[in-house]
Structure 1
């Protein structure tokens, strides 16, 4: 059951990254500056990278996978989704500044997930 949840989470985040990427490339292209669009794309890329990683983890589960899963899942949510919120709110001239400190926390969780992968392999 846990393996299916990890794989489904990876597939869900992968699907969303395609949707958000298309949304950014088409619908937001007219609304965002080039700098804002690049920031949005960073969120999409990191989300996809970690969605694929979750799929790999799900197909290669062992006892340490759950902690890595939670680091990557929460990291995606806090990092990528805070970037989306910051960019979109900035484009609307109502920047949600409280999201600014959330982005590095998400990044730290992604780094921690990779550190756990490294530790697990050594």
Structure 2
């Protein structure tokens, strides 16, 4: 699973750079300042959780038995897709009914962090 998480983190990081650069340069004339800010928030959260996913993959490599880490990684992936993905879509003019998807992605991020915390309680650290 750690290899798959690293692969997904690499792809997610790549996509975040592309979207961030495109928003900063290619979309400035096409989107409102508010829409550009929405994209920036999506990119920021995607990067945070891409790095967290990468860290989880490294943790799993070091401690394969750490309970909760796989769930944390999956929650972060789902959060990136729902939170950042919905923000990108909304900034580009997707229907407003997509708006409630964003908080669901945020809940996935929160759950992911709770799973990380839980893993620290169930895993001997420092070995």
Superposition TM-score, scaled by structure 2 size:
0.87
Equivalents in 2 of 1:7, 1:52: separation in Å? 10
Match of 2:92 in 1: 88
Match of 1:72 in 2: 76
Q: Which is higher, the Rg of structure 1 or of structure 2?
A: 2
- Consecutive unaligned residues of structure 2, counting only runs of 5 or more, are 61-65, 122-127
- Runs of 4+ that moved beyond 4 A: none
Kindly report the root-mean-square deviation, in angstroms, between the aligned alpha carbons of the 2 structures: 1.0
Superposition TM-score, scaled by structure 1 size:
0.90
Equivalents in 1 of 2:115, 2:69: separation in Å? 9
- Consecutive unaligned residues of structure 1, counting only runs of 5 or more, are 90-94
Which digits, 9 at most, give the CA deviation of each residue in 1:65-119, with x for residues without a partner?
1100110000000000000000101xxxxx4122111000000000110111122
Equivalents in 1 of 2:24, 2:111: separation in Å? 30
